[in-house]
Chain A
Amino acid sequence: MTDTTATSKLIQGRTGNWEIVMGLEIHAQVASKAKLFSGAAVGFGAGPNEQVSLVDAGFPGMLPTLNGHCVEQAVKTGLGLKAQINRRSQFDRKNYFYPDLPTGYQISQLYFPIVGEGVVEVEAEDGSFFNVGIERLHLEQDAGKLIHDLSPTESFVDLNRAGTALMEIVSRPDIRSPEEAVAYVKKIRTILIYLGTCDGDMEKGNLRADVNVSVCREGQYEKFKATGDFSHLGTRCEIKNVNSFRFISQAINYEARRQIEILEDGGAIVQETRLYDPTAGETRSMRSKEEANDYRYFPDPDLLPLELEQAWIDEIKANLPELPDDKRRRLMSQYGLSQYDAVVLISEQAKADYFEAAAAGRDAKLVSNWVTNELSARLAADGKDFSESPLPPSQVAELVALIEEGVISSRIAKEVFDHVWAGEGSPRQVVEARGLVQVNDTGAIEKAVDEIIAANPDKAAAVAEKPQAIGWFVGQVMKATGGKANPASVNDILKARLGL
């Protein structure tokens, strides 16, 4: 099994096989009404510089004061990542000049992060699982935004985002393919949304990733894993600020190919920061290690070390919502769902909640099918989330109940669903109003069967030799009964009459 996985991750070059090794830094904006160190509001859509306090703008004599809610969110996230919560952490200043950074330093946590090592279980596309080690999670401030396209001669600064709280989640170099990278980010995003610590909105930039990519010869990664010696791995390049799943995958594919080509041409990889240009579909050098800033990190003397009470951490832990992995396991054991169904359901918290609300006392597999297929497709087409579904879970439950009771067939159920979706009433009301009740009256079915056999003696004779041809008769009977005949009864009666 490990062999096949390893093989699938290999990239063939001109001179042999290569492996990709990646570590990700995910920047997740903390769900919070206020910024990390100032009372200024956080929100999307405010006018330029409308959500800026004097602290954010770095005015003389202004001091940071820590937002306790953001700390709680970080702790919650750490617990959700099954990571070590550091009861003592510290804020450090990362010093550099840029117009989007009013104080000339970003307050971050270099030396003692609030969250230490953890591990995340990620589902691969093939249904298998792989673990990604979490190295750390730390709190830091976001910077403002520069706007260059309003004037040909001037640049503008919008500080609304300056000082907003971010969680930087740093993974170990445990990610081995673009697909794994995407699956990992998706998993982190799901966990954050479950916890309510980040809204996961990648379009707004509230979740973005820096991807560290390196390539090495086949087998080198195993040596690294065995020894922890990074020299077995290649030189890495960091692709900054990738903000969609598609771009993550594209950027990695491009970057790995680029590195392999350089190495196969006898060149060497230069450690550098690169940007992914989605239009050109390529990564471009931003700055090399030599050009990199010396950030002169040191503990922020305006802030005391952050000390957390164990009891407070325990309280947060006790009140954590059910996490995706736990939910997946529970859905499988409690409802007898397959792993695939459970994984699909937990991918969105609202979807899982919807399922559970509809599944009570019903055939869970059937409910799961309706939720993940028909309803999912309709909601997606309307650009809606499960929490915004116009159809309450009780209606899906009613629809499934009608099927279970044998009132309607699955085929009719689709028709009923259409009418319910169109707002014609509950499934039961639609079935009654439109007379879609399944015909279970064997007398009526027998009559239809007899008539069709009588009218098609040649076909009836053929069935004796070719039993699959019975399907044609089933279709005819259903047609004659307006699709309302109970398919099981039709089958039974046909078989008896045709002597099968």
Chain B
Amino acid sequence: MSDLTKLTLKAAVDGLKAKTFSSEEITRAFLTNIEAANPRLNAYVEVTGDKAIAMARASDARIASGTAGALEGAPLGIKDLFCTEGVQTTAGSNMLRGFVPPYESTVTANLWRDGAVMLGKLNMDEFAMGSSNETSAFGPVVNPWKSSGSNADLTPGGSSGGSASAVAADLCLAATASDTGGSIRQPAAFTGTVGIKPTYGRASRFGMVAFASSLDQAGPIAKNVEDAALLLQSMCSFDVKDSTSLDIPTPDWTQSVGQSVRGLRIGVPAEYVVDGMPAEIQALWDQGIAWLKDAGCEIVPISLPHTKYALPTYYIVAPAEASSNLARYDGMRFGHRATGTTSLTDLYESSRAEGFGAEVKRRLIIGAYVLSAGFYDAYYVKALKVRRRIAEDFDAVWDQVDAIVTPSTPSAAFALGDKQVDPLQMYLNDIFTVTANLAGLPGISVPAGLDSNGLPLGLQVIGKALDEATVFQVGAALEQAAGFTTKAERWW
């Protein structure tokens, strides 16, 4: 039999239902791949082999009895941000090393309801704060892609670097991920995979370790647009345990994949042309626009005037919320606790100083600062106002366009260690993606080509709130036009 791990999620689910192969077979194939690759790629922080086999056997039994769910028997990787009952959940942090939640996140519970199999927990930037996976307490994830003529290890992006790397290297059929400022779309772009962040409120945040509550959304990273649709519709649900969850039905988005885009109006925002953007990125963008035009779309130049304030706004709102969300990691009830301390304050300070990494501390300090007396209005309140303006920018164009196309990232994957010196350089990675988080809109990254070094580049499609259908439709059209089939050459 051909290599089961190279199947798409859709093909695997079909094959499993048709009993062409068993869940146990495909699960074992992935576990073998992981065993071989993980020492080099570091995509998984924990492989739950026994659990995976047990789940696979249970799936095989359900397939045999004709009670298979939508993802029955499909082996998936789970970003270590999702709490998994009885399985260590760390959020990439020493603070939570050894933390085993006695509960399951709603997103993963939905997957198990649909029959998916968990291979293990995927590496990520600490508390999802990072764009290169280098802030993980478990070491950086390595991108399966290499720059032509170089052997340097590249970043898979972040914070969902483990998810992206695992999908690109066939270490799972697809993976869960989360996106606060681009943490799904940027790693997808860096690894030649598809990643979508749905409308804020589509996926429950219950049981997902919080970074910035008003921006965090779960979504999938998958091998193609159809797989992303299939996995996303299983992840999403209304959840009474999350007050920001939307009480609306989840459509069958796989139906949108392959639908003609003829007549759709595609916006191209002038403000997304940024200083110092590599010509290759501009060229890819132009190419994407041309493909859509060829497919019958109407291309509409638009303006989103507050775009330039998005990144600074994001880096006020997200750290502010994080500084409060991460206060619960105080060494009292769970997680890391310093020893040999002499006072309550000492216990707090030492536990947090030891438990958190440098980037998390940086953001917590920024967050505490922008919320502090005397600065609150100047920073946080102002940022909320700008956030509103950014959302209004989008509101104003939706009567002219059905979707917006932009590059996903300002560059291809860079070498590990390259941008660690200057946090601001690192933050620039999110420049095209943060707007969708600030406005709560769905955004997908689809691989659209390779740069001159043979590294994948992605295009982003942003849609109206709750209109993932059009996002998938346009994303699939780009995917089809690009015919992107290149895989990272196996070196691991």
Contact = CB atoms under 8 A, between A and B. Distances in A.
Interface in B312-365: 320-321, 323-324, 326-328, 330, 332-334, 344, 348
B213 A301 contact: yes
Interface string A55-70: 0011111111110000
Given A54-B103, A296-B324, A301-B321, A64 B243 contact: yes
B324 A95 contact: yes
A95 B330 CA distance: 13
Contacts of B12: none
A483 interface: no
Given A99-B332, A102-B333, A298 B380 contact: yes
B343 to A, nearest CB: 12
Nearest to B82: A61
Interface string A74-115: 000000000000000000010101010011110000000000
Contacts of B373: 294, 296
Contact of B101 (A59, A66, A99, A304): A59
A65 B240 contact: yes
Given A60-B96, A304-B243, A103 B320 contact: no
B368 A296 contact: yes
A62 B368 CA distance: 22
A59 B323 contact: no
B324 A104 contact: yes
Contacts of A296: 323-324, 368, 371-373, 376
Range for the number of chain A residues in contact with chain B:
20 to 34
Nearest to B91: A60
Interface of A is mostly: loop
Contacts of B376: 296-298
B110 interface: no
Interface string A99-134: 100111100000000000000000000000000000
Contact of A302 (B101, B244, B330, B380): B244
B83 interface: yes
A453 interface: no
A157 interface: yes
B205 interface: yes
A298 B214 contact: no
A60 B372 contact: no
Between B320, B323, B326, B330, the greatest number of chain A beta carbons within 10 A of the residue's beta carbon is seen for B330
Between A54, A65, A157, A296, the greatest number of chain B beta carbons within 10 A of the residue's beta carbon is seen for A296
A348 B213 CA distance: 46
B334 A59 contact: yes
Contact of B333 (A57, A95, A297, A302): A57
A183 interface: no
A409 B174 CA distance: 93
Contacts of B242: 63, 65
Contacts of A65: 240-243
Interface in B202-225: 205-210, 212-214
Range for the number of chain B residues in contact with chain A:
35 or more
B348 to A, nearest CB: 5
A303 interface: yes
Interface in B407-444: none
A304 B371 contact: no
Contacts of A303: 243-244
B205 A63 contact: yes
B291 interface: no
B160 interface: no
B33 interface: no
A102 to B, nearest CB: 6
A93 B214 CA distance: 14
A302 B213 contact: yes
A78 B380 CA distance: 31
B38 interface: no
Interface in B13-38: none
B99 interface: yes
Contacts of A58: 328, 333
B371 A60 contact: no
A61 B210 contact: yes
A144 B461 CA distance: 47
Given A93-B324, A97-B327, A296-B323, A60 B89 contact: yes
A93 B89 CA distance: 26
A423 B445 CA distance: 85
B8 interface: no
B241 A105 contact: no
Interface string B240-262: 11111000000000000000000
Contacts of B48: none
A389 B424 CA distance: 74
Contact of A99 (B212, B344, B368): B344
A102 B327 CA distance: 9
Contacts of A104: 324, 326-328, 330
Interface string B355-393: 000000000000010011100100010000000000000
B282 interface: no
Nearest to B368: A296
Contacts of A99: 330, 332, 344
B327 A60 contact: no
Given A64-B243, A102-B332, A298 B210 contact: no
Contacts of A304: 243-244
B105 interface: yes
A301 B214 contact: yes
A375 to B, nearest CB: 50
Contacts of B371: 95, 296-298
Contacts of A294: 372-373
Contacts of B320: 298
Contacts of B332: 99, 102, 157
Contact of B103 (A59, A66, A103, A157): A59
A195 to B, nearest CB: 27
Nearest to A54: B103
Nearest to B242: A63
Contacts of B105: 61
B378 to A, nearest CB: 14
A366 to B, nearest CB: 57
Nearest to A57: B333
A296 B323 CA distance: 10
A60 B209 contact: yes
A61 B368 contact: no
A368 to B, nearest CB: 51
A269 to B, nearest CB: 22
Interface string B69-108: 0000000000000110000010100001001011101000
Nearest to B208: A61
A103 B212 contact: no
Nearest to A94: B324
Nearest to A293: B373
Nearest to A61: B207
B363 to A, nearest CB: 14
A66 B82 CA distance: 23
Contacts of A62: 206-207
Nearest to B95: A60
A105 B96 CA distance: 20
Interface in A132-157: 157
Contacts of A57: 333
26 contacts: A57-B333, A59-B328, A60-B328, A61-B83, A61-B210, A62-B206, A63-B205, A63-B243, A65-B241, A65-B242, A65-B243, A66-B243, A99-B330, A102-B328, A102-B333, A104-B327, A105-B324, A105-B327, A296-B324, A296-B372, A296-B373, A298-B371, A302-B210, A302-B213, A302-B243, A304-B244
Given A59-B334, A60-B89, A298-B320, 19 more contacts: A58-B328, A59-B101, A61-B82, A61-B103, A61-B206, A61-B208, A61-B209, A64-B243, A99-B332, A102-B332, A104-B326, A104-B328, A296-B323, A296-B368, A296-B371, A302-B243, A303-B244, A304-B243, A304-B244
